Amino acid sequence: MGIVQKENGPVLVIELEGELMGGAEADEFRSIIDNAIKNEKNRIVVDMGKVNWMNSSGLGMLMSALTNLRGSGGDLKLANMTDRVRRPIQITRLDSVFEEYDTIEDAISTFA
């Protein structure tokens, strides 16, 4: 899994690429979230457009980030999800927990 961070004003955009399967990538993602919270960048959009697969560990990784961000007064929103990646979120009914947007810009605008 590849991870790219971009700041868009007060919002941190994290672009994920490849397969969300937990493991070492989960540690890198967790570190990014922890540093963002520490630096008061707790408004995050995760760009899922280049993610081609996600298992339960990947879902847990996103859920953990959401919980930590909301606990710090921030939030995490998902953007550009494919149907293949959306399916595990729907099956686990976490689509009622995560906010999902068609574009990064739409997700960023909800933080205004």
CATH of the domain at 34: 3.30.750.24
- Please report the sign of the dihedral spanned by the C-alpha atoms of residue 36, residue 1, residue 45, residue 76: negative
Work out how many domains the chain is built from and give that number.
Answer: 1
Give the global pTM: 0.94
| pLDDT tens-place string over residues 53-107 | 999 999 999 999 999 999 999 999 999 999 999 999 999 999 999 999 999 999 9
Domain that holds residue 45: 2-109
The percent of residues in the chain predicted with pLDDT above 70, rounded, is: 100
Strands 99-101 and 75-79: parallel
User: Number of C-alpha atoms within 13 angstroms, CB side, residue 111?
Assistant: 21
Q: CB of 32 within 8 A of CB of 38? A: no
pLDDT exceeds 90 at position 26: no
pLDDT exceeds 90 at position 24: no
CA–CA separation, 45 vs 43, rounded Å? 7
